[in-house]
Amino acid sequence: MEDKKANIVALSSLVFLISVIIIARVLLHLSKSFFLIVGAAVAAIFAIIAFYFIRRHLRHRRRVMETRLASEGKELRIEYSFLRKIAGIPTKFRYKELEEVTDNWKSLIGKGASASVFKGIMKDGTAIAVKRIQHEEERGEKEFRSEIAAIASVQHVNLVRLFGYCIHNTSRFLVYEFIPNGSLANWIFSRPATARNHNGSSSGGCLSWGLRATVALDVAKALAYLHHDCRSRVLHLDVKPENILLDENHRAIVSDFGLSKLMTRDESRVLTTLRGTKGYLAPEWLLELGVSEKSDVFSYGMVLLELIGGRRNVTVIDGGGGGCDRSKKKFQYFPKIVTEKLKAGRIMEVVDPRLLDLGGIDEKEVKKMVHVALWCIQEKVRRRPTMMEVVKWLEGRVAVEEPPETQMIVVDLLSIDDEDDEGEGQNGNKRKKPRVVARVASQLNGCFASNNPLSSKSFSYSMSIISPR
């Protein structure tokens, strides 16, 4: 546009100067004044012509330079993008782009307490899962940063791949690879035949014994990598079937690092806010004694038992008559049942009945997996194995010894509730709580190397802040 205007001005100037010469010739004839005007006009004409050609030359050089820079910039962007993908560095997506690939957020495939997950298809045909974090601003930002810090730089076949992220106003989005078969929970727990996911699909079924053993090993390898092979140890802190996904070959992919923590090599434990899912939290976390990689081991052991039995570890068998008296609530604790069946020599009775109907399950394999699980859920932290040892046990490289008996103190922790409901039973439950926690803490004595006495804060255990399943 500027070049066009300059050309018009130059042409107009030439026409004007030529017109001046013609008018001067008519009016002044061949006088001295006429020749002065002609000289000035001709000089101006030559100046305009010179300016035009110089400008044209400079414009051509500029275009050549812009083309070269654009080409080099494109090459640099392609190289930078390639190197980011190779290094596993997440890409920053635009909100509009995510809005388009998810069909304006219509393709919901999952929803939890802290986030919603949408399926999207990129322009190159890549299927993605977009996680929209929906906590309040401070907690959502903390979860967003934790997840990126934990998963952005790790590369493992059994860990979900983070493609990128998006920040839009106060909203936070994480873009992951799409895992087609959904969560492990859909494949090990019984559910109605009509049950469907949020997007209308019915992904799920009954996972065979062989595939369950493979999933157990895959998850163990993923956690072993996080605990032992990363520069900073990564604590997942939310290991449960809902956070274990199955790919097209039913191989396990560990996901959801919203509660994760990084731990340096010289740290033995870290203190963190009590969050997570009832039934998978280690006793030391419930008592606010700090967490370590052994807290993940405990959660893994609970998941392993659920893999074997095809049922939840903690179920309510008596809701207290349906009233507001929650102190009479009774829990059934599956690990305790497993221990009793193991003692009685009837370990096959804890296996998922659907698998028993299919047959072909080796009792020795069941006993081995039960032993591994019971080692993992030992109350005393020092008794629990590392995930590297668990991998060796599951692969059969090292024989699994019979685990020692445990007090199943989680049953005591589940028997107390800190809801602010009215009623005598609830008040009695509140009076009982400090005594139960003190007794449990005394049973855990020596679970850490450091002998830090329990402060009054250690008794602030509250089931009300534990996220629901």
3 belongs to the catalytic site: no
432: left (phi over 0), alpha (psi -120 to 50) or beta: alpha
What is the amino acid identity at position 301? G
State which H helix or E strand residue 219 sits in: helix 209-224
**Which of these is catalytic: 218, 238, 256, 325?**
238
Determine contact, residues 467/114, Cβ cutoff 8 Å. yes
| Number of CB atoms found within 10 A of residue 464's CB | 8
| CB contact set of 255 (below 8 Å; sequence gap of 6+) | 159, 160, 176, 179, 243, 244, 245
Q: Rounded distance, CA 398 to CA 396, Å?
A: 5
> Tokens 């109605």 belong to which residue?
192
| Tokens, residue 215 | 């999933």
Give the orientation angle of helix 209-224 with respect to helix 293-309, to 10 degrees: 180
Determine contact, residues 283/436, Cβ cutoff 8 Å. no
| CB contact set of 110 (below 8 Å; sequence gap of 6+) | 116, 117, 182, 183, 197, 198
Question: Catalytic residue positions?
Answer: 238
